[in-house]
Amino acid sequence: MHTKTLQALASALADKSVSSVELTEHFLKRCREHNDNLNSFITLTEETALAQAKAADDARAKGNAGPLTGIPFAQKDLFCTKGIKTTCASKMLDNFIAPYDATLVTKCQDAGLVSLGKTNMDEFAMGSSNENSHYGAVKNPWDTARVPGGSSGGSAAAVAARLVPAASGTDTGGSIRQPASFSGITGIKPTYGRVSRYGMIAFASSLDQGGVFTQTAEDAALLMNVIAGFDPKDSTSADVAVPDYAATLNDSLHGLKIGLPKEYFAEGLDSSIATIIENAAKTLEQQGASVTEISLPNTPSAIPVYYVIAPAECSSNLSRFDGVRYGYRCEAPNDLEDLYKRSRGEGFGAEVKRRIMIGTYALSAGYYDAYYLKAQQVRRMISNDFQQAFNDVDVILGPTCPTTAFKLGEKTTDPVSMYLNDIYTISTNLAGLPGMSIPAGFVDGMPVGMQLIGNHFSEAKLLNIGHQFQQVTDWHQQMPEGF
């Protein structure tokens, strides 16, 4: 049962060949069997899941079920979930019980999805390997000596190992697409503002965007129908009509114009991955698309721009964690200043402290114009590159990552090397564009993802291309051995 796609499980529930309770028990059993090895979940909510599953079966019996009613799901542990521990994988929030639900959580509950628990992640979503968690590193099911990617590594590993059919994630600079690539699954980051950020604990407010991990593009389309839409509670939410993402999955690719950025195939890209992406482009050509080379000249500036803007915003957002109102508080503080210093010093991990300090410096008097303002100006240039490209092509195709998943501990002492792993994903966040990674091959037994980037609110087109590619390839059907 766990090898089936979301669509297949929905059909099984609809024809009553399996109940939601049976399905939920099956996946919970898999979580118990494999989570000690993978560390993909921080919290399993077994009682809540079974209660939701029973309610889903009752709704289905009464004819009140939606397309995904009764399907097991998992939430990344930065979406507030009422009455359930929501930690952001940080000691700072180890004792925090959310008093309300994030909008994405509410939408999933309204659709009848059954939440199995909260998945592990890099602390406050800061990282590309899921090694920066207070609860320990997540391991890649394809090779448990390697990282699953980050920051949404727990969700990616759980879906890749089929511990859950689908899971939520967030993407600030590649944190859905990079782990999707490393873990051999489909991951989509929608346009900034397409999915509500209300109740999603913030890292960098102008970059963060919620999305999903699934086996297939078709499954991702079904979930996008659930989570997308305007939310008056979120001031950054876009009031733009939401299409039926599943309705256009089977559209022909004839006449589609695909651009390959020459900057994405330059020094630093593993040659075997380059070959896989070029072969994927040829497959799409055989399906009727045309492929041309394009240029995104400001791509090399994306990482330095991101690592000024994101830390600056994190410095501001994380100032609320002061040991006073909620979260971790140090023992026996001498005075208020000691409370602030020790609570933050003891509550935050090394990577979070590093980014807070960088961001505070970039925003400080005398440096704001030189760093933060300049970064925002170059950000506009990066966005303009994409808009220029979309005058000539419909979508952009390239590698998701320059390498396959690296070994645990390989880059922990070299943060700059870790940051460079996001070279192909960061630009889309800076420009607020949708991006998707889908499986495209393997190098030495490890998955490789190809990235599709579209213009604003073109998620349906990306899902259509991904689905058509998956109709003639089987990379997305491959499973890690032992799971």
| pLDDT computed for residue 413 by the predictor | 84
Query: Which pLDDT band, with edges at 50, 70 and 90, does 121 fall under?
Result: very high
The alpha-carbon radius of gyration of the chain (Å, integer) is: 21
Minimum mean pLDDT range among 55-59, 87-91, 365-369: 365-369
> Does residue 148 surpass a pLDDT of 90?
yes
> Does residue 366 surpass a pLDDT of 90?
no
> Does residue 412 surpass a pLDDT of 90?
no
The question of whether 90 is a catalytic residue gets the answer no
Domain ranges for the chain:
6-254+436-477
Question: Strand (E) positions, 345-427?
Answer: 395-399
Q: What is the pLDDT of residues 373-396, one digit of tens each?
A: 999 999 999 999 999 999 999 999
Comparing 421 with 242, the larger pLDDT belongs to: 242
Question: Pick the catalytic residue: 20, 90, 151, 155?
Answer: 151
The question of whether 62 is a catalytic residue gets the answer no
Query: Which pLDDT band, with edges at 50, 70 and 90, does 197 fall under?
Result: very high
**Distance (Å, whole) CA 333 – CA 355:** 25
Query: Which pLDDT band, with edges at 50, 70 and 90, does 237 fall under?
Result: very high
> Does residue 421 surpass a pLDDT of 90?
no
Query: In CATH terms, is domain 6-254+436-477 a member of 3.40.50.720?
Result: no
> Does residue 188 surpass a pLDDT of 90?
yes
**Distance (Å, whole) CA 9 – CA 39:** 25
Task: Please tell me the total number of residues recorded for the chain in this structure.
Answer: 483
The question of whether 151 is a catalytic residue gets the answer yes
The pairing of strands 395-399 and 257-261 is parallel
- Of 242, 195, 181, 188, nearest to 219 (Cα)? 188
Query: Which pLDDT band, with edges at 50, 70 and 90, does 420 fall under?
Result: confident
355 CB-near residues (< 8 Å, 6+ apart): 126, 310, 311, 314, 315
**Distance (Å, whole) CA 173 – CA 185:** 18
Question: Pick the catalytic residue: 175, 183, 196, 315?
Answer: 175
Give the helix/strand (H/E) hosting 227.
helix 217-227
Q: For all residues of the chain together, what is the average pLDDT?
A: 97
Question: Pick the catalytic residue: 19, 40, 76, 427?
Answer: 76
| pLDDT computed for residue 340 by the predictor | 97
